[in-house]
Structure 1
C-alpha cells in the first residue's frame, strides 16, 4: 500500500493523492524533462520521427533565482544573547545550513513546500519522555514536499504532520515514518518503520531490529505544546486546492509560459540545424580524377543525390537558407517577458541577448513588482527561520541542558542589495552620525546587526581606540 493508505490505516487523514501527481508534474519541470512535451513524435510524410525538444530549463532557473534572492550568503541571523547566538551558529554550521537552506528554498519554489525537522542525536529516551541533558547534538532533516503528509491544519498552518523517508540498511529498503501529533495538548512523536518493496509500504518491523534505529523509541513524549517541525513555502495562494495547507511552485500558474519559452528556443536551435549550408551534387561529381575523389567524402556540407534529377544540367547546386535569428530572438524574449511577469520578477528580468540568457543586475525601485514580491515572500521565510531557531533552543535545553533563553529575540536581516544601494545609504547614515542626527549606538545596531545592549557596550572600545590614536599623534 501507499504511505497515504498506511496513514489512513493508522487512523490519520491526510491530503488527496491527486495533489501528489501534480507535484510530480512540477518536479519534471524543475528537472527539465516533461513527459509528452520534451519528448514527442512527429510525422514527416513517410513515417514517425521521435524528437527531443531543446529547453532553456526555466523551471530550474526561476526557482534558483528566487532562492538566491531570498536565502543567500548575505542573510544574517542574529539572536539576542551571545550564548544563544553561539549555540545556533554551531548547530547551523554542523548541519551545513547556509548551503542547504538555499537549496531548500529552491525546492520550495519548484515544488511548493519544504520542511525543516530538528532532532536530537545520542539522546537517551523512554516512552515517558527524553532524559534531560543526555543528547550529544542536534541534526536538521531537510524534507521536500513528496515526503510531507499534513494530518491536521487550521488557517493554512499545519498542526500535525507525518514525514516519510526511504532508507536502505544491509541491502533492504525500509520506509521510516515519523508522525508528529498532539495528545492531551502536548506533542508526541511516533516512530514506525516498514519494509519497502516495489514502491509500496509492506509489513511493519520493530525499530530495534533495524541497524541505526535500535535506540529510537516507538513514541517520544516531548512535553511541549509547540510543534517540532517547520514548514516553508512561497507566499502564494494554492489555487489548485484551497482546502489543503501545502504551497504551490512559483511557476504553477505559468506552465503554458514555460512551454512557450521552450517551443521558441527549440525552434531557434532547429533554425540553425535545418538552415545549415548544404551542397547538393550529382553522382557524376563523385567520380575519381587521377585516382583522387573530386570532393572529400567525409565533408558533411556535400549531399550526393541518388540520381541525376536536376533539370538545369548543373552538377553542383548550393542550398543556403537565410536564418531568421532576429525573429526567433524576439519571440524568445517575448516568452521570457511573459514568464518573468507570471513568476513575480516583473516583465524585464530575463534577457535573451546574443544567444545568452542573462538576468537584470540593476538596482530595482521600491515600487516595482519584484520589490513587492520579494517582501511578500520574506514574510513566510522570516517566520520559518525564527521558528526553527526557537525549536533548536528548546531542544538544546531539553536534551542537552544548554540553559538557553528560549524567548531570545531573533532578527533576520535579508540581503536587500539588489533593492537599494547599500553604499549610498551607509554614507548618508555616516553624515547623519557626524551631524548628531543619529546616535552612534543606533549606527552600530543598523550596520553591525547588534542589539541595543551590545551596541552600547562596544562604544567605549571605539572611544579607547580613538584616544590611543590621538596619543600616537601627540
Structure 2
C-alpha cells in the first residue's frame, strides 16, 4: 500500500491494519515464488553463501484449490436482463479475472471487486447519466475494510496504481454509508510524489445496494486483528512449504553430484615441474585425478558412483506433503506419493467425499460474491441507464464439477430416473435444471410444452 493512501486514511480517522497487511505480504511472497531472505539464502559450513532452489509448491496448492470453484455459467435472471449482465461480465474479462482471484483468495485470504462508471455524462444538475459499467478487481493488499458488522464488510476503501505519461498515479476509492443507509463513492487521486490532485476528486451519491463485493476463504479466520479479511491459507502452510523446499534441495543436491567418477592412480600419470598431473586427451575425457592415494587402495583404476538416497528422500517427501495437505485444509492426502507419482487433490476427492464439505463452503462464498457483483451491476444500470431490472431475480451459478465427478454420468443417471419414474415429474425438472443450469421456475415453464402437468409440482 502506498504511503499516501495510508496517510490520507489516517487523516480521515481510519486506521490501516498493518498486521493484516504484513501477513498478506508474507503469503503473497510464497505464492509469487519470491526469494525469502531469511530462509532461502544460506551459507555453507565454510561460510560460502548459496540459495536454496525454490519448488514453488505454494502456487500449485492455490491453483489446485481454484480448480474446484471454476464457474461454467452465470444466469442473472431471464431474457434481456441476463444478457446485459453477461455482456458486462464479458467486457470486464470476468472469467479470466475470477480465475486469478480464486488463486489469490487461497493465497492471501481475500479479494474484492467494485463497480464504477466510465465515460459518463454529467448533466447540468450535477446528476450522472449513461457511461460504461465496468468491474475493478482488487487484491488483498489494495483492499482496506473500514467498517465490519457481524463479519460483513459494509464500508471499504480500494487503492490502485496506474501510469499517466510515464508517471505513477495512485487512485483511492472509498465507499461509505451515509444517511438513510445510502452509499457514497469518493474518489481521490495522488501524483507520484504522494500529493492529492484535487481537481480529480469526485463524490457521487449511490443507493442502498452495496457497490462492491468481497470474497474470502470460507474457513474461519483464527488470526488476531484481521477483521474484515479472510484467512490466508498459505499462512498456516508456510512451515510445511519450507520442509518441501528442503526435501527438494536434498534431492537436487544428490542428483547434482550423482555423475560417475573414475579415479586413476598417480602411478599412471606423469607430472610437470609444479607437480600437476599430465594427462593424455583420452585420460582427460575419462578420468578425474583426486590425489596421491585412492580410497582403500583397490587398484590403479577405480569407479566411484555417488549414492542417490531415493528411498529416504521419498519418505521425507511423503511426510512433508502430508504436513502441507493438513495445513492447507484438505486432510492428509491432498498431495501424496503413490506408485512413484504425486496424487493431487482432484483425484483424491473421488475417494474421500467427506472432503467435499470444504469445497461446498467455499462454493457458497463464491456464489454470494458473484451474486453481489451481478446485483450491483443491475442497480447501476437501473440508476444510470434507466432500465428496470429485477434485483430480486434468482441468480444461478453453474460450477465445473469435472474435477470431482463425472458430470455426464450424473446427467445420464438423472435422465434415466426421470424416464423410469414418469409419475414423479419433479425428476424431469431437476434434470433440466442440472443440464441447462436454469432456475426451477424456468424449468417448469419449459415443461409446459411436454405432456406432463406442472401446476401441482412439489419439491
User: 1:94, CA displacement in angstroms?
Assistant: 1.0
For residues 286 and 90 of structure 1, what CA distance do their matches in structure 2 show?
A: 79
Choose 276-285 or 234-243, whichever is displaced more: 276-285
1:344-355 equivalent positions in 2, closer than 5 A: 344-352=329-337
Per-residue CA deviations over 1:17-42 (Å, capped at 9, x if unaligned) read 13222221111110223423553222
1:413-452 equivalent positions in 2, closer than 5 A: 413-434=398-419, 435-436=421-422, 437-439=424-426, 440-452=428-440
User: 1:296, CA displacement in angstroms?
Assistant: 5.6
User: 1:317, CA displacement in angstroms?
Assistant: 3.5
Q: Does 2:112 match 1:82?
A: no
Match of 2:274 in 1: none
Give the gaps of 5 or more residues in structure 1. Answer: 209-216, 464-474
Match of 2:292 in 1: 308
Match of 1:12 in 2: 13
* Count of aligned pairs: 438
Measured at CA, do residues 355 and 176 of structure 1 come closer, stay the same or move farther in structure 2, by a change above 3 Å?
Answer: farther
The TM-score, its normalising length taken from structure 2, stands at 0.86
Match of 1:342 in 2: 327
Per-residue CA deviations over 1:101-144 (Å, capped at 9, x if unaligned) read 01111011111111111212111247976424x21x22111110
Match of 2:188 in 1: 192
Contact 1:230 / 1:384 at 8 angstroms: preserved in 2? Answer: yes
Contact 1:238 / 1:247 at 8 angstroms: preserved in 2? Answer: yes
Contact 1:70 / 1:378 at 8 angstroms: preserved in 2? Answer: yes
Contact 2:266 / 2:293 at 8 angstroms: preserved in 1? Answer: no
Measured at CA, do residues 106 and 456 of structure 1 come closer, stay the same or move farther in structure 2, by a change above 3 Å?
Answer: same
User: 1:389, CA displacement in angstroms?
Assistant: 0.6
Contact 1:285 / 1:294 at 8 angstroms: preserved in 2? Answer: no
1:190-339 equivalent positions in 2, closer than 5 A: 190-197=186-193, 202-208=194-200, 218-222=202-206, 224-242=207-225, 244-281=227-264, 293-295=280-282, 297=284, 299=285, 302-305=287-290, 307-310=291-294, 312=297, 314-339=299-324
Measured at CA, do residues 207 and 314 of structure 1 come closer, stay the same or move farther in structure 2, by a change above 3 Å?
Answer: farther
Q: Does 2:146 match 1:167?
A: no
Contact 1:127 / 1:219 at 8 angstroms: preserved in 2? Answer: no
For residues 341 and 431 of structure 2, what CA distance do their matches in structure 1 show?
A: 42
Pick one of 371, 375, 381 that aligns with 1:386. Answer: 371
Measured at CA, do residues 235 and 285 of structure 1 come closer, stay the same or move farther in structure 2, by a change above 3 Å?
Answer: farther
Match of 1:467 in 2: none
Q: Does 2:31 match 1:22?
A: no
Measured at CA, do residues 280 and 36 of structure 1 come closer, stay the same or move farther in structure 2, by a change above 3 Å?
Answer: farther
User: 1:66, CA displacement in angstroms?
Assistant: 0.9
User: 1:284, CA displacement in angstroms?
Assistant: 6.1
CA RMSD of aligned residues (A): 2.8
Measured at CA, do residues 232 and 183 of structure 1 come closer, stay the same or move farther in structure 2, by a change above 3 Å?
Answer: same
User: 1:402, CA displacement in angstroms?
Assistant: 3.1
Measured at CA, do residues 369 and 31 of structure 1 come closer, stay the same or move farther in structure 2, by a change above 3 Å?
Answer: farther
Contact 2:142 / 2:159 at 8 angstroms: preserved in 1? Answer: yes
For residues 340 and 37 of structure 2, what CA distance do their matches in structure 1 show?
A: 26
Match of 1:370 in 2: 355
Provide the secondary structure at the position in 2 that maps to 1:321: coil
For residues 12 and 129 of structure 1, what CA distance do their matches in structure 2 show?
A: 28
The TM-score, its normalising length taken from structure 1, stands at 0.84
Per-residue CA deviations over 1:232-257 (Å, capped at 9, x if unaligned) read 11112222224521112222212111
Provide the secondary structure at the position in 2 that maps to 1:253: helix
Measured at CA, do residues 179 and 129 of structure 1 come closer, stay the same or move farther in structure 2, by a change above 3 Å?
Answer: farther
Give the gaps of 5 or more residues in structure 2. Answer: 272-277, 452-459
Measured at CA, do residues 354 and 168 of structure 1 come closer, stay the same or move farther in structure 2, by a change above 3 Å?
Answer: farther
Match of 2:144 in 1: 149
For residues 256 and 243 of structure 1, what CA distance do their matches in structure 2 show?
A: 21
For residues 343 and 270 of structure 2, what CA distance do their matches in structure 1 show?
A: 51
For residues 378 and 213 of structure 2, what CA distance do their matches in structure 1 show?
A: 14
Per-residue CA deviations over 1:438-458 (Å, capped at 9, x if unaligned) read 344443223222234433443
Contact 1:161 / 1:179 at 8 angstroms: preserved in 2? Answer: yes
Contact 1:54 / 1:266 at 8 angstroms: preserved in 2? Answer: yes
For residues 62 and 125 of structure 2, what CA distance do their matches in structure 1 show?
A: 43
Q: Does 2:56 match 1:60?
A: no
For residues 387 and 153 of structure 1, what CA distance do their matches in structure 2 show?
A: 17
For residues 23 and 243 of structure 1, what CA distance do their matches in structure 2 show?
A: 10
